[in-house]
Structure 1
Amino acid sequence: MSDEILAFKMQLKPGVVAAYKQRHDELWPELAEALRSAGIHDYSIFLDESTRSLFAVLKRRPGYPFEQLPLQPVMRRWWDYMAPLMEVEPDNQPKQWALPSVFHFAG
């Protein structure tokens, strides 16, 4: 079984790019472990500075409890910590817009 690749967009609020980057530069070790335990082994977030849109791409291994990640207390704390910086749902989960794949090159 091959990795699943997920891509999605999120949105920053004005004036928070530096804080967003700093918080991710200082990612909590317990959150990193929760991501690994959910099968995530490659996760990148890119910024379009002109729109403050974030573009995330993650790779996850099948057979891990990825669906349980939003229920983890550390994930909930992270969302609460990040909520002042981003557009969020009522439970502080970042609003996410799925990005369908339209091209992939594997050379």
Structure 2
Amino acid sequence: MIRKAFVMTVYPDKHEEYEKRHNEIWPEMVDALHHHGASNYSIFLDKETNQLFGYVEIENEEKWNKMSATDINQKWWDFMKPVMKTNTDNSPVSKSLKQVFHMD
């Protein structure tokens, strides 16, 4: 199991919409995430900075990296583009964080 953490940015006036869209996440998106080895996935919001902190556990990097090319993931990115900062391919602008401590 590999732990991954990252930060993204939601638009200041889209906090509620971002949360609503994730509360209503499509079952086929959840299935695809599981199929690509994701589990224990959480996203947290800092309302003062509009920063999102994401955490996910994956089985392996190769399997996880294939998720971005799936049709459902592309559709999700398009759906989320109006509420957060994105790259030209509609993927979220995301910065990976280095793990510096872990305790079981």
Q: Deviations over 1:18-70 (max 9, x none)?
A: 00000000000100000000000110001111001000000012387211101
Contact 1:37-1:64 at 8 Å conserved across structures? no
Structure showing greater radius of gyration is 1
Find runs of 4+ consecutive structure 1 residues off by over 4 angstroms.
Answer: none
Structure 1 residues 82 and 63, CA gap change in structure 2 (3 angstroms): closer
Deviation at 1:102, TM superposition (A): 1.5
Q: What's the counterpart of residue 53 of structure 2?
A: 55
For residues 97 and 66 of structure 1, the distance between their equivalents in structure 2, rounded to whole angstroms, comes to 16
- 2:32 counterpart letter in structure 1: A
Report what 1:19 is aligned to: 17
SS of 2:56 mapped into structure 1? strand
Identity %: 35
Q: Which has the higher helix share?
A: 2
- 3-state SS of 1:104 partner: coil
Gaps of 5+ in 1: none
Structure 1's 33 and 64: CA in aligned 2 closer, same or farther, altered over 3 A?
farther
Q: Does 1:75 align with 2:73?
A: yes
SS at match of 1:57: strand
The CA deviation string for residues 3-24 of structure 1, in whole angstroms up to 9 with x for no partner, is 0000000001120000000000
Aligned residues: 104
| Structure 2 portions without partners, runs of 5+ | none
TM-score (norm 2): 0.95
TM-score by structure 1 length? 0.93
Match of 2:31 in 1: 33
